[in-house]
Amino acid sequence: MSGLRPAHLLALCRSSHPHAAAWVSLAVALCVACGSADDAAGTSPAERERPARLPEPETTASNAGGQGPSAADARGAGAAPAAALLPPPAASLQAVGPYQADVGRDCDGWPRLALTTPADACVGIVTHASHPAIAAAGPRFRPRSMVQDPERDDVFWVLDAGAQRDHAGRVFRLRLPAQPGQEPLLQLVMARLNRPHGSRIGPDRKVYVGEVDGVFRFDPRAVNRALDAPALLATAPSARPLVQVAREPVVAGLATQLRREDRIRYHPMSSFVFTPTWDLVLNRGSSTDRCLESLPAARCEDEADDLAGLVLYRHLGEGRFAATGEMLARGLRNSVALVAHASGTVLQGENGVDFAEADRPHEELNVIRAGAHYGWPYCYDERGRDPSWAHSDFLCDPAQNPGYQPPLLLLPPHGAPLGMAYYDHERFAWLRGSLLIALHGYRATGHRVLVFPADARGLPTGREPSGELVGGWEASDLGPKGAPVELLVARDGAIWLVEDKNGTVLRVGSERYAAPRAPDTRATGEPTEGALDPEFAALQAAVFAPRCGSCHGFFNEPAPAAAAALRREGWLAVEGGRTALERRVSRQHERPMPPAEPLPPAELARVLARLSAR
C-alpha cells in the first residue's frame, strides 16, 4: 500500500462496499501521518507544485462502450470529473502540425491529441502553422489570443504575433467547416501589426486588439460581409490581406522607448480586460526583470514612468473611452493574464522575477484593488524581500506598509500564467463557476491548464487547484512541450487554446468514446540527432548542461535526446538567417540567454561555430 496515493484511495470510495468511505478516510489519514511515497523518494519541489490529477473514473455499464455519459449523468451536477483511465488509442496516428494526432478517434470532429484531460473531455487540434493560408502569410505563426465573433458562432478572430520583430503581427478570420472532419477556412484580414497580444469583444460588439503602443478596434460585421463574398472565398492564400479593414484607435501613444535610451519595455504586451461596466484595464509591463538597472536608488524608476502596473481607461458610454488613463495598481511586473468576473472582481496572474532557483519565486494570483501596490521589484511571494532591494524604503509587510497588497494565493514557481477565464456553461457542468489558468512556462511547473473552483465573487475557494483541465503536455514522440497562451470559452461551452511556440489553435471538447487504449508510438519516434555526434555531446557537457540545464531540463538528458529536443522545441528554427538559439545566446533578443550574464567568449564561440556548421 505504500505506493498508493490519495487519488487512488478516493477512487476506491466509488466501489459498492458499504464501508468503503470509512476505509478511505482511515487510509488517507495514514498517508498524511506517514508521508507520501513521493516524499519518501525525494520528489523535487517543482514536481510537488503540480496538483493531484482529478479523480479517476468509475467503470460502469453506461460508459463501457459507445457513447459516454454526460457529466451530470456520471457524477451529478457540480461533482468533480474523473480523469481518463488510459490515453487515446492508436487508431490512426498522423502528423497534424507539430503533433502526432489521432485522426481515427476524433475529439468533437477534430484530430485528437494525446493529452491528459478529465474523463468527459478531450483536446483536438483545429489549425496550425502548416495551414495554406497561414503558410502563405509568412514564416512564423505565433497566435497569442482569439475571440469568438459577437454574432456568428462559426467565426473566430485569431491574433497572431508572427515573427519576433516589430510590425510582423496579423489577424486571421477562422471559419468553422460545415461538416466535421473538414479543414477550417482561414483568411488573412490584417498584417503589419506591432507586436500584438490581447483581443476582446467590446461594448460596441467590435473586436478590440492590443499592440505594443496602443489598442485599436474594428467592426467584424463589415469584414464578415466582405470575406464571405464568393470571389474572396475562392481567392488563393497570399501574404496580402484580402480586405481593407478600418482601424479605430482606442488607446494611443503608449511609450515603447523610455527616458534613457537603453531602457525599452521588457514586457511590452498590451494585454487588457473589460470590467462589467466596460472600463478598460490595460497592462503596462515593466521595463526590466528585477529593475537592477535603477540601483542604488531606493525605488525602481519604472514607478516614475507609470510602468509595472495597470492603467484604467473609463468607459464614457456608446463605445467612447477616456483619452487619458488612471493608474489603477502598481508593483505588477507583467500583467498578461487578466480576467474580470461578473461580480466586478478583477484578477491578475503575475509573472514573477527570473530567479535561477527552481522553487522560487512563485507566480501570483492577485485581486486588483484601486491604489494598491503589489510589491514588484521589492517583494516576492507573500512577504519575501529581493535581497538586491533590501535597502529600499518599501516594506513587504502589510502591517507596516498598508499600501502593500500581498497576493491572494501563490501559483507554481516559473509557471508563467498567460491566460485566465471563468467557465460558466452546461457542457462541463462540474466546471461551472471555476477559474481556469493557462500556464505557459517551459519548466516542470508550466505547460498545463489549472482549475480553481471559485465563489460567487470569482475568488478561488482554496489555495490549491482542484486539478488540471489539460496536462501531460511534456515533449514526446507525440508532440512538443505545451505552450498555452490564452483561453477562450465559446458560446457552446467548448474551451479554445492558442499556443504561440507550437503555432496551433486547440479546442477542448466533449469526450464521446469510452475505454481508450494506449497508442502504439513505436513507428513515430523522432530521429536520434546527435547519437553519433561526439562534438555535440562535448558541447552539451561543457556549455549547455551547466549553463542552461537549470531552466531547460532537456539539456540534462542524454545527448541524442537533448539534440532532438533542441529541434523539436524550435531552437533551431531559422528566422532572418539566424536560429532562435543563436539570437538568444548572442544577446540579440529581448530575452537573452543565459538571462543573468552572457556566455564567456570562448563558450559563445563554440556554440556559434556549432550552429554555423549545421
Q: What is the CATH number of the domain that holds 385?
A: 2.120.10.30
Same domain, 132 and 101: no
Given the DSSP bridges, would you call strands 185-193 and 199-201 parallel, antiparallel or unpaired?
Answer: unpaired
Per-residue pLDDT of 374-398, as tens digits, reads 999 999 998 889 999 999 999 999 9
Residue 51 has what pLDDT?
52
Which of 71-80, 93-102, 583-592 is predicted most confidently? 93-102
The rounded percent of the chain whose pLDDT value lies above 70 is 78
Same domain, 95 and 152: no
The rounded distance, in Å, linking the Cα atoms of 41 and 44 is 9
Which residue did the predictor score with more confidence, 361 or 550?
A: 361
Q: The domain containing residue 602 runs over which residues?
A: 534-612
Count of domains observed in the chain = 3
Of 510, 543, 577, the residue at which a domain comes to its end is: 510
Q: Measuring CA to CA, how many Å separate 35 from each of 3, 224, 314, 321, 409? A: 11, 59, 52, 56, 24
In a domain, 480, yes or no: yes
The rounded distance, in Å, linking the Cα atoms of 481 and 104 is 23
Sign of torsion, CA 440 443 449 455?
negative
Same domain, 556 and 470: no
* Residues with Cβ within 8 Å of residue 522, at least 6 apart in sequence: none
Neighbour count for residue 365 (Cβ, 10 Å): 23
In a domain, 319, yes or no: yes
In a domain, 235, yes or no: yes
Residue 164 has what pLDDT?
79
Same domain, 585 and 466: no
Which of 10-24, 59-73, 531-545 is predicted most confidently? 531-545
Q: Of the candidates 480, 478, 475, 423, which has an alpha carbon nearest to the alpha carbon of residue 450?
A: 423
Given a cut of 50, whether residue 146 has pLDDT beyond it is: yes
Longest distance between any two alpha carbons in the chain, whole Å = 73
Same domain, 101 and 144: no
Residue 403 has what pLDDT?
94
In a domain, 13, yes or no: yes
Same domain, 395 and 433: yes
Given a cut of 50, whether residue 410 has pLDDT beyond it is: yes
Averaged confidence pLDDT in the chain: 81
Same domain, 44 and 191: no
352-355, Cβ contacts within 8 angstroms, sequence gap of 24 or more: 352/380, 352/413, 352/414, 353/289, 353/290, 353/377, 353/380, 353/386, 354/289, 354/290, 354/414, 354/595, 355/380
Residue 604 has what pLDDT?
82
Same domain, 95 and 131: no
In a domain, 285, yes or no: yes
The rounded distance, in Å, linking the Cα atoms of 397 and 338 is 25
pTM of the full structure: 0.76
The gap between the terminal CA atoms of the chain, to the nearest Å, is: 52
Same domain, 263 and 114: yes
Same domain, 89 and 123: no
* Residues with Cβ within 8 Å of residue 292, at least 6 apart in sequence: 388
Per-residue pLDDT of 167-190, as tens digits, reads 999 999 999 998 878 899 999 999
Same domain, 155 and 301: yes
Per-residue pLDDT of 215-272, as tens digits, reads 999 999 999 999 999 999 999 999 999 999 999 999 998 876 555 555 555 677 889 9
Average pLDDT over residues 81-86: 43
The residue type of 93 is: L
Three-state SS for 13?
Answer: coil
Given a cut of 50, whether residue 77 has pLDDT beyond it is: no
**Cβ contact 191:239 at 8 Å:** yes
Q: Please give the order of strands across the beta sheet that includes 143-148.
A: 143-148, 155-160, 169-175, 185-193
Same domain, 374 and 411: yes
Q: Which range is least confidently modeled, 33-37, 67-71, 591-595?
A: 67-71
DSSP symbol at 83: B
